[in-house]
Every structure is written in structure tokens, then in C-alpha cells.
Amino acid sequence: MRSSKGLRNGSKTPSARTQMTASSTLGLSVILREFPSYSDAKVLLDIFTRTINAMYHILHIPTTSLWLEGLFAEISANLLPSATQLAFFLGIFAGAVYASKNDLHFETAGLCGVPQMTLAESWLKQAVFLLTNPLVPASTQALQTFANLAHLCTQIEGFSGSLGILTISGARMAKSMKIHRLDTFHYREERKKDGADMIDIEVKRRIWWHIVSSDWLRSTVGGPDEGTYIFHPQQMEIFHPSNVDDDDIPTGVSHLTEDSYSLPLSSPTSITYFLYRIQAANLSREVTDNLPPSFFVSPGTHDSDEIYQKIIVLDQKYQQFLKSLPPFFQLTIRQDEESYRALIKERPYLEWQRYLINFVIHTHLARLHRPFLIRGSTQHRFAYSRMQCIRSAETVLEIRNFNIGNEGIGGFTYILAHFMMAAVILAMDVCFNQDEIRVSQRKQEVLQACRVLEEELNTKIAPPCSGAENESCSSGQLMLQSFQRAVQNLRGILRRKGSKDKPLQSSSGTIIENTAKDPLPTKEIYTMPQRQRPSALHPEPSSESGFTPANENISNQRHSNVSLHMDESSRDQNDQGQGSEPQRQQQQSPFNLPPPYDEHIHSHQIEGSYGSSGELIADELWSEFFTVGPTFNDVDWNTFLIDFENQITKV
């Protein structure tokens, strides 16, 4: 393993040993006492490398491994690590346990029996505290920590947690280090003359473009940043990171430039996905620049020919981006089977990165055309938007269900939010176009999506820390509640609409059966072959190793498994006995994957969540949706969509 002198020095400052003085209130002794052993830490770093860092790649892994060795050497020598060092690795550990799809078995005594979501939240809070109380000195390692923790906060806490202070503090630190001017003519000439540590240069480029691309991507999703971004492309002078694997970057002080080792984007490396993510983010910035700030929150007021022509132009740019992807990122494999299998064997992360980049683009396409979804059924000039919105929504569901569901990224909060919105889009179209041939199939897709979502959300319930003032709600549970509120609001809309619509009611006031030609699909169950995390109502017994599965000791009265449609007063009469074992059905991926990946997908099937009566608890809501939804008009749908998106993008 190789490292960079610049990066190693960047993690230390003259005041590093005094950074911890203000951290005593957190209990530094507690942090170090429950810190993973070196063996556990290496396992967690490996998980982080294969999941989160494979997406954002802000770490130089050989250097990070040496930093880990150095940290434990200091701990063994009874030296006090710096706040930056501890926060850096706590963020990695938090990301690893959050992303892991398998139950982890630790050798560290203090970690045994602790649910993984509890560990993720605890380590995240510790890292944020160490990094910001007081703010650590500027360094490359501190910037990497800010970037990683900001990503984790969006997953665990949502937009209303620590994301703001991490984003702003990280951006200010990066600018104070003049990273946005890293590749001005002056600095490039200076590097040619004196040489430079190219690992340090490349990592700084990665950090900056991760911060910038995340800012641009957030500008086109629902939430507080919608319609605005911070970083203007004309106010920075810094190259994109080089398309190169970590081990191929020159070490030490070198006079070599990136031109001597950077590969074309047609050659896959560990950072190629990151570079295409930057391009996708640039498209998001163009959407923000070209559409009115209120376009997505008041769609009925922005349907002029001029605005719609901009939509079509932006759509064409997205389509061109998809076509320009290299063969290993194309959704449909365009190379021979043997070559593809050899490539995936060498670089297994390319398999899910291929799906993820397409997932990102199709979520953006679906949202771009969503304001015209309903009108596209009645107004011919918007017909293309309806078609593309539906096509992209179906692609989003298919990718999540069949291709990334069992990967660590499949349970990320923003993945689930886009997944849920895609299901709602298809449900809306079913309600508005009940005579189409594929109505029954789309109902099945919606039902399966909600069962998958419930299963994923139940894995994220974490018990509160003992003695906490707000012990009834961990930050992860606050995020989950945003999903619940969104669907509860949907249920309220359905009930209000149903009560006003006399043709849909019987004389007793109950909603009559769906009048659509296709009945609600029969309930089916999908099995997940890997980790089966229990819900709070149905914990699994302790493993032989002593690691207690998540939620085992949670009180059933305080924590229940996530229900996407039912409040306490509307549950099925909870104790009416179990139904018969649901029928199992296999589904094949819609994409033409070469073996053995198509065989693997057959096992990528998802177990549905059960209510205590034995019913799949998502079904009742969507039965009502498909019954009452056809009575909605444009205003009803727009109101519902805006409210729904606001709920799932906030905590």
C-alpha cells in the first residue's frame, strides 16, 4: 500500500493535540472504549470501500489504510488522537454499518448486541460533534470527513439534521484552502516547476467535485434546496478528477501531470462512475437554470410553448447522455457475454454502478416530465411527456427491484424516496387511464414496490439511546416518519375524496369495489435471500456469536414496524389469525443480462411485510387508491404530488 506525504501531513496540524479539549462533554473515554478493534475497523473500512466509496470515491484507499494503521498505533501507545482522525474513521464506520446488507459480528465487546442502525446513528453523532465542536483546522482529511458525513446525514437524518452545518462548513473550508482555484494557470505552472504530490491534488479534486455535484443534484429534487444551488461553474477553476485507479496515481513529489496517467472514460476505473455522476449533476444544473423556480410546485402555471420546448430540449440532453454512456454502463449490454463477464469478475462494482447511473438519470427524467403526466392523457402536445414519465418510472422500479435491491446502496434513503415516487407515478397513470392493456401489470408493480419499501424501512428502525431526552425518536426514526406522514396524508386525501364522491359509495357509506376493468392483483410474496433484518414486532433470536439482531430489545409498545398506510386506529383487527402461506412467484429482470447475472436476479426477490392479521399491509391503501384515484382532477393530483414529495424529502 502506498500513501501520500502531503495527505498524511494534511491530517495533522500544530493544534491537533489540543483539538480534543472541548470534546470532553461527549465522553472521549466512552468513544475510545467503544471504538472498534483494529480487526473490526479493517472489516468496516472494506465494507465502506465496496459500497459508499465506490460511488463517491473521495478517499484514496491506500492512504486511508495507512492512516488507520497510524491511528491504532497511537491508541496502542496511549496517545490521544486528533478530533479529525477520530471523526474521519467514525464516519467511515457509520457508513459501513448503515450500508451493510449483512448482520455484522464484531469482536469488540462493546459493540456486541448493538443494532447496526444504532451504531450508525451513534457514530455519526460522535463524528459530527468532534468535527464541529470546535471546528477542526482545515485539512484534506477534514474535508473528506465533512463530505462523507454530509452524505450520511441525508440518509440517516434527512435535510433537517446536521446536513446544513456540514455542507456550509465543508464548502468554506475548501474555499479557504483555495481548492476551487487548484488548476489556475499560476498553480499549474508552479507544479511544473517544483513538482507536486499528485495524490493530494487528485483527492482535492474529488472532494471539490463531490461537493459541487451534490449541490447541483439537490437543486432538482424536492426539498429545501430545490430550484437553487450554491456553486457557479464560472466561479471555479479546477479540473475534474483523473480517470485512474488509486494505485496508479504517482506517489511522492512528482513532475508528472494528470495527462500522463489519466485514462479515457471508455476505460473503466474505480472512479469512472464518479465522473459520470458529475456529468449528470451538470444536467441538473441546466434544468435549474432553464426552468422557473416554481415549475415543480405549481406545474399548471408553466405550460406555455416556450417552457415546454425547454423541457423537450432538456429531455434530449438526458437522452444523449444515456446514449453516450460506455458499453459497461449501458442498461442493455452491448458487448459479448464473455467480455462482460470477465470485466465484472475483475471489477464487480461496475455491475451495480451501471444500474445506479441509469437509476439517477431516469429519476430525473420522470420528474422533468411529471407535471405533464395527467395532461398528457388528454392533450396531445404533452403525450410524449406522459410516455417518457411512465417509461422512466417503470425503469426506476425495475432497477431497484431486480438489480440493486440486495446491494448496500439499495436501501439508501434517497433511493427509496425516488422508488416510492416512481410507484406513485404509475399508480396515478393507472387511475387516469384504466382502459389501457397494462393496467393490471402496473398495479402489480405498484404493490410490489410498496411491499419492498416497507421491508426496507423496517430494517432502519433503531432503538433510542438509553437515557436520551428524546428517547422515543432516534434520528433514523424521524426520517422514517416522513415516509409515514406522506402516505398518511395520501390516505386522508383518499378518504376525503371518497366521502365526497357519491357514485363510489354504498348506502352505508363504505367505498364500493374498484370499478376499473382490472381487479386489484392478488397478493404475492417475494423472498430476499440475503440479510433478513427483523421488524420491531418480530425480532429474531440472538445469534450464536452473541451479536443481538437489530431491534431485539425494543418495546413493542413504543416501536412498531413501519406501516405505509395505517395509523393505529385503522389497523386490521390485529388478532384475527394468520392467513395461509402466500404464493411465491419469480420475476425476471426486464434487462437482457448475460449469465450468470440473469440467474442471480431470479433470487433478487423481495419479501413483503405482513400485518398482524397475515395480510400484506400495503395492499389496503393501494386498493383504495385505485378506487378513489380515478375521481381526481388535475388540481387534486398536483396538490397531492407536491405534498407527497414535500413529506418524503423532509424530516
Round the average pLDDT of the chain to a whole number and report it: 75
Give pLDDT tens digits for 378-400: 889 999 999 999 999 999 998 98
Give the number of other Cβ atoms within 10 Å of residue 27's Cβ. 12
Going by C-alpha positions, the residue among 293, 137, 300 that lies closest to residue 224 is 293
Give pLDDT tens digits for 447-457: 777 777 777 77
Residue 179 to residue 215: CA distance in whole angstroms: 16
Asked whether residue 176 is assigned to any structural domain, the reply reads yes
- Exposure b/e, 280-289, CB count within 10 A at least 16 = b: bbbbbbbbbe
Residue 39 per-residue DSSP state:
H
**Least confident window among 274-288, 333-347, 428-442:** 428-442
Distant-in-sequence, close-in-space partners of 53: CB < 8 Å, separation ≥ 6? 59, 61
Residue 371 to residue 616: CA distance in whole angstroms: 31
Which residue has better confidence, 101 or 232? 232
DSSP bridge partners of 651: none
The answer to whether 172 touches 119, Cβ cutoff 8 Å, is: no
Asked whether residue 354 is assigned to any structural domain, the reply reads no
Give pLDDT tens digits for 182-197: 999 999 999 999 999 9
Asked whether residue 467 is assigned to any structural domain, the reply reads no
Look-up of cell digits 448482520: 103
Q: Residue 556 pLDDT more than 90?
A: no
Distant-in-sequence, close-in-space partners of 633: CB < 8 Å, separation ≥ 6? none
- Residue 505 φ/ψ, nearest 5 degrees: -120, 150
pLDDT mean over 564-568: 39
Question: Looking at residue 576, what is its pLDDT?
Answer: 40
pLDDT mean over 203-232: 92
Residue 48 to residue 92: CA distance in whole angstroms: 6
Q: Residue 636 pLDDT more than 60?
A: yes
How confident is residue 601, by pLDDT bands cut at 50, 70 and 90?
very low
Give pLDDT tens digits for 169-181: 999 999 999 999 9
Question: Looking at residue 383, what is its pLDDT?
Answer: 94
How confident is residue 433, by pLDDT bands cut at 50, 70 and 90?
confident
Asked whether residue 543 is assigned to any structural domain, the reply reads no
Which residue has better confidence, 461 or 472? 461
Question: Looking at residue 160, what is its pLDDT?
Answer: 65
Residue 648 to residue 39: CA distance in whole angstroms: 38
Question: Looking at residue 374, what is its pLDDT?
Answer: 85
Cis omega (within 30 of 0) on the bond before 299?
no
Give pLDDT tens digits for 219-266: 998 777 888 999 999 999 999 999 999 999 999 998 888 999 999 999
Reported as half-sphere exposure (CB side, CA atoms, 13 A), residue 330 has a value of 13
Give pLDDT tens digits for 303-362: 678 899 999 999 999 999 999 999 999 988 767 888 889 999 999 999 999 999 999 999
Portion of the chain with pLDDT greater than 70, in percent: 67
Residue 307 to residue 576: CA distance in whole angstroms: 55
Going by C-alpha positions, the residue among 17, 7, 141 that lies closest to residue 79 is 17
Going by C-alpha positions, the residue among 26, 134, 23 that lies closest to residue 80 is 23
Q: Which domain holds residue 33?
A: 5-258+273-290
Give pLDDT tens digits for 136-178: 999 999 999 999 999 998 887 766 668 888 999 999 999 999 9
Alpha-carbon torsion (276, 281, 287, 289), positive or negative: negative
How confident is residue 473, by pLDDT bands cut at 50, 70 and 90?
low
* CA 447 to each of CA 21, 450, 507: distance values in angstroms, whole numbers, following the listed order: 53, 5, 29
DSSP string, 103-150: ----SSGGGTT--HHHHHHHHHHHHHHHHHTTBPPP-HHHHHHHHHHH
How confident is residue 579, by pLDDT bands cut at 50, 70 and 90?
very low
How confident is residue 7, by pLDDT bands cut at 50, 70 and 90?
low
Task: Write down the pTM of the prediction.
Answer: 0.78
Written as nine digits, the cell of 648 is: 418524503
pLDDT mean over 554-573: 38
Asked whether residue 421 is assigned to any structural domain, the reply reads no
pLDDT mean over 99-123: 87
Question: Looking at residue 543, what is its pLDDT?
Answer: 36
The answer to whether 517 touches 440, Cβ cutoff 8 Å, is: no
Taking the alpha carbons at both ends of the chain, their separation in whole angstroms is 42
Asked whether residue 435 is assigned to any structural domain, the reply reads no
Residue 301 to residue 261: CA distance in whole angstroms: 51
Asked whether residue 76 is assigned to any structural domain, the reply reads yes
pLDDT mean over 453-477: 57
**Least confident window among 78-92, 462-476, 532-546:** 532-546
Amino acid at 445: E
Distant-in-sequence, close-in-space partners of 300: CB < 8 Å, separation ≥ 6? 371, 634, 635, 638
Domain tally, the chain: 1
Asked whether residue 231 is assigned to any structural domain, the reply reads yes
Residue 454 to residue 407: CA distance in whole angstroms: 17
Q: Residue 436 pLDDT more than 80?
A: no
Q: Is 138 exposed, middle or buried (0-12, 13-18, 19+ CB in 10 A)?
A: middle
Look-up of cell digits 498505533: 73
Question: Looking at residue 301, what is its pLDDT?
Answer: 66
Residue 374 to residue 638: CA distance in whole angstroms: 9
Q: Residue 198 pLDDT more than 80?
A: yes
SS (H, E, C) 525-575: ECCCCCCCCCCCCCCCCCCCCCCCCCCCCCCCCCCCCCCCCCCHHHCCCCC
SS3 for 610?
strand
Question: Looking at residue 85, what is its pLDDT?
Answer: 95
Question: Looking at residue 532, what is its pLDDT?
Answer: 39
Residue 372 per-residue DSSP state:
G
